[in-house]
Chain A
């Protein structure tokens, strides 16, 4: 099947800086594709090139197999939900949604019917006569999507549309957006710097950094099997050390961190003597009252609790080991550690498979 959207060797330079550096990807029909990256990584530039507001320096953009480089933005079969929505404040809701249909020269009754249908679909029937500023943030969001969807675009682009909403509403809209995407059965390309948005909604996520794609995969791929140090550090929280490899057998490595902590970890392409960066997630570390409870783990050590960062389900401990290294460890809420307090001795352990290593200075390490 031809992908709905395909970018081939896309490059965009502004003067001396390369905003987008040789990026290729394709998005299959009906999927939710996210580009995730810190601000300034070039994701907005990609989106604006797809929408037609920027010309790529080199490379090609194809929609349903055909190149759209020579198509002006008002003729491209893609529509965009802007960061601040860009609803037209001088028009009513119905006029906003009908704007694109009027441009296509559709008859008035037909437009009215389509607009009503769209309002029905986004769960806001009967608000057509209202002004834009009479709506709440979440309602505006839905209207902005409906305004694009009535045009039945091949691809809908969404430029951090949840950024302006407050936290509660943002959580709610994540679920809603996913549902809308399923209902409209349209390809969504979503850009964001918020990993939770990307992880929750997407079928595929591209992690972008400094103009390049670091890794493309499902949320699980990125979380469990990061391919670059950047992805390992960017997705989820992590403890991070650098150290030297002492022994390598198959995929399992024996290494020592700069502060002298010995550790077993996993990673490919590393030889004894290499410098490496090691990532261990707080939630991958098992906490126990006694050393016996951790017998099955490749790494174990004991330390004192220096701080309890209580945050309900997301609570953490800071544990300092004998060498002076501080680790962040997830505090399980199963009841056994409720009485833990600062200064207590605890035992912690983790498997070699949970400690991911990358050679220092490997591609993408920044």
Chain B
């Protein structure tokens, strides 16, 4: 019996170790190693920090890196601000059938490919698009208006794309807040604002943190939305990784960029967890 249980244990452990080892850990170590070398001549490489030096001294790279980080934080904040009232409405104001329908309506757009969603925004916002036509028809513009390829448009797309991942954890945590706790807040003399600040937001904190982490990750790692909706002169860091790898075949620099993106996301996720005193296990698991 004991032996049998040991065998079962190793049989169950094996897929996990193979998966994590061969597809996550070793590939990342390999990527790190590649980013730490420099091509001397054909097929001959040296260990060096040259790629990181290049990445950190070239203003275009550095600016894109910082821009991607800041815009992702901004997108996360905007998503949270837009999603919170909606999630609260679904969790606490809507009842019964309406609640279920609203929640489903939130889910369904996101089973559709991101490409389709982005395509939708392009049809709406381009020069010959719906909004432009609408504005002309309403007399608010006298010629076609191009709304694509600006930061604001890109932000609309980013927020749209990650909305679900904010709404769902928020609805889940807010639903677990007992109505009577909110009522007790009012009963003891609290106003709407103080109940929100002292009771609802502290309770929703786990949902806020996990929503923010996921949305931040998705924005940071997004390629499609910045490429299709963003301005030509405002690169996204993932585009630079793609360019180095696929267009220029400069894998060393590309790997260094990839590693920088990974470090950036880890630092921000870790910082967010630290700030709220939570663990990754509680937040994602």
* Interface residue ranges, A against B (CB under 8 Å): 51-53, 72-76, 78-80, 82-84, 86-91, 99-100, 102-104, 147-148, 151
Binary per-residue interface labels of chain B (150-191) against chain A in the complex, 1 for a CB within 8 Å, 0 otherwise? 000000000000000000000000000010110111111111
Are A86 and B191 in contact (CB-based, < 8 A)? no
> Is B143 interfacial (CB 8 A cutoff)?
no
Are A82 and B180 in contact (CB-based, < 8 A)? yes
Q: How far is the CA of A102 from the CA of B188 in the complex (A)?
A: 10
- CB contacts (< 8 Å) of A51 on chain B: these are 183, 187
**Which residue of chain B is the closest to A73 with respect to CB atoms?**
B186
Are B180 and A151 in contact (CB-based, < 8 A)? no
> Is B17 interfacial (CB 8 A cutoff)?
no
Size bracket of the B interface: 10 to 19
Binary per-residue interface labels of chain B (185-218) against chain A in the complex, 1 for a CB within 8 Å, 0 otherwise? 1111111001000110011000000000000000
Tell me which of B185, B188, B198 contacts A151 (CB under 8 A): B188
Are B183 and A82 in contact (CB-based, < 8 A)? yes
Report A49 CB to chain B, min CB distance, Å.
Answer: 13
Report A106 CB to chain B, min CB distance, Å.
Answer: 11
Are B186 and A88 in contact (CB-based, < 8 A)? no
- Given known pairs A82-B180, A88-B181, A90-B202, the reply for A75 and B189 (CB within 8 Å) is yes
Are A74 and B198 in contact (CB-based, < 8 A)? no
- CB contacts (< 8 Å) of B203 on chain A: these are 89-90
Are A147 and B180 in contact (CB-based, < 8 A)? no
- CB contacts (< 8 Å) of A151 on chain B: these are 188-189
- Given known pairs A99-B198, A103-B194, the reply for A88 and B184 (CB within 8 Å) is yes
Are A147 and B198 in contact (CB-based, < 8 A)? no
Are A90 and B199 in contact (CB-based, < 8 A)? yes
Are A79 and B185 in contact (CB-based, < 8 A)? no
28 CB contacts below 8 A, A to B, read A51-B183, A51-B187, A53-B183, A72-B186, A73-B183, A73-B187, A74-B186, A74-B190, A80-B187, A82-B180, A83-B180, A84-B178, A86-B178, A86-B180, A86-B181, A86-B183, A87-B184, A88-B185, A88-B199, A89-B181, A89-B203, A90-B202, A102-B194, A103-B189, A103-B190, A104-B189, A148-B188, A151-B188
Q: How far is the CA of A91 from the CA of B184 in the complex (A)?
A: 13
Report B136 CB to chain A, min CB distance, Å.
Answer: 48
The 10 A-B residue pairs whose C-beta atoms are closest, nearest first, are: A100-B188, A90-B202, A103-B189, A86-B184, A86-B180, A74-B186, A82-B180, A86-B181, A73-B186, A100-B189
Report B171 CB to chain A, min CB distance, Å.
Answer: 19
- CB contacts (< 8 Å) of A91 on chain B: these are 198, 202
Q: How far is the CA of A84 from the CA of B185 in the complex (A)?
A: 14
Q: How far is the CA of A99 from the CA of B185 in the complex (A)?
A: 8
**Which residue of chain B is the closest to A104 with respect to CB atoms?**
B189
With a 10 A CB-CB cut-off, give which of A51, A84, A99, A102 has the most chain B CB atoms. A99
- CB contacts (< 8 Å) of A87 on chain B: these are 184
Report A82 CB to chain B, min CB distance, Å.
Answer: 4
**Which residue of chain A is the closest to B189 with respect to CB atoms?**
A103
**Which residue of chain B is the closest to A72 with respect to CB atoms?**
B186
